[in-house]
Amino acid sequence: FSPNCSWDAAYERELQTFQDIGDAGEIWFGEESMVRIIRWLEKQKVPLDISVLDIGTGNGVLLIELAKSGYTNLTGIDYSPSAIQLSEKVREKEGMSNIKLKVEDFLAPSAELSGFEICIDKGTFDAVSLNPDNAVGKRKQYVRSLCDVLKPGGFFLITSCNWTKEELSNEFREGFEVLEELPTPKFCFGGRIGNSVTALVFQRK
């Protein structure tokens, strides 16, 4: 099983669907995770021209929503060329020409990918963690890449359905501290209440 192949195939399908009916396909993690991110940025009174990187942008819908909320300095990366093609089509349809999109492997980012003030991840760290081929090394590399692209003092907003707050705090302890946990839907299983999704804001030290 190669996560890359399956994601590529998923985006190929979404690309075809988008061309056929103009639908951007599934929004991973649903609408509420985007609303949660945008609310946090607005609450912090983050300037609208702050540089934002969406790691593993997929169909680019989060960037579209950020642009609609007035943010102007937006970049999305994905290692899947099909995903970037799809997000370019969505961007064109929405007329959001100021969103920059690039095919990039976040575990080996190019030199120009740096100096961001905010990085956002919805599910990409999860996907990296599920990679059967040296997951621990890849998670460490992810943290190193994040240190490279995010300015000191910058914010990292992560949404995960695999990791708890404690586990994420531990994974990102080299260089990051937890600023706050964002509220996510609760679920009840066997009488115990838990969160299916964890959303955290880290600040780069």
C-alpha span between 50 and 72 (Å, rounded): 8
* pLDDT greater than 80 at residue 185: no
C-alpha span between 122 and 46 (Å, rounded): 20
Predicted local confidence at residue 14, as pLDDT: 67
Q: Which of 26-30, 146-150, 169-173, 191-195 has the lowest mean pLDDT?
A: 26-30
Predicted local confidence at residue 70, as pLDDT: 96
Q: For residue 5, name the pLDDT band (cuts at 50, 70, 90).
A: low
C-alpha span between 196 and 164 (Å, rounded): 9
- Phi, psi of 203, rounded to the nearest 5 degrees: -120, 135
Q: Report all structural domains of the chain as residue ranges with CATH numbers, in order of start.
A: 32-185+193-204 (3.40.50.150)
- Phi, psi of 135, rounded to the nearest 5 degrees: -60, -40
Predicted local confidence at residue 189, as pLDDT: 64
Dihedral over Cα of 101, 102, 105, 110: its sign? negative
C-alpha span between 166 and 106 (Å, rounded): 24
Predicted local confidence at residue 21, as pLDDT: 52
Answering whether pTM is above 0.95, one says no
Mean pLDDT of 119-139: 92
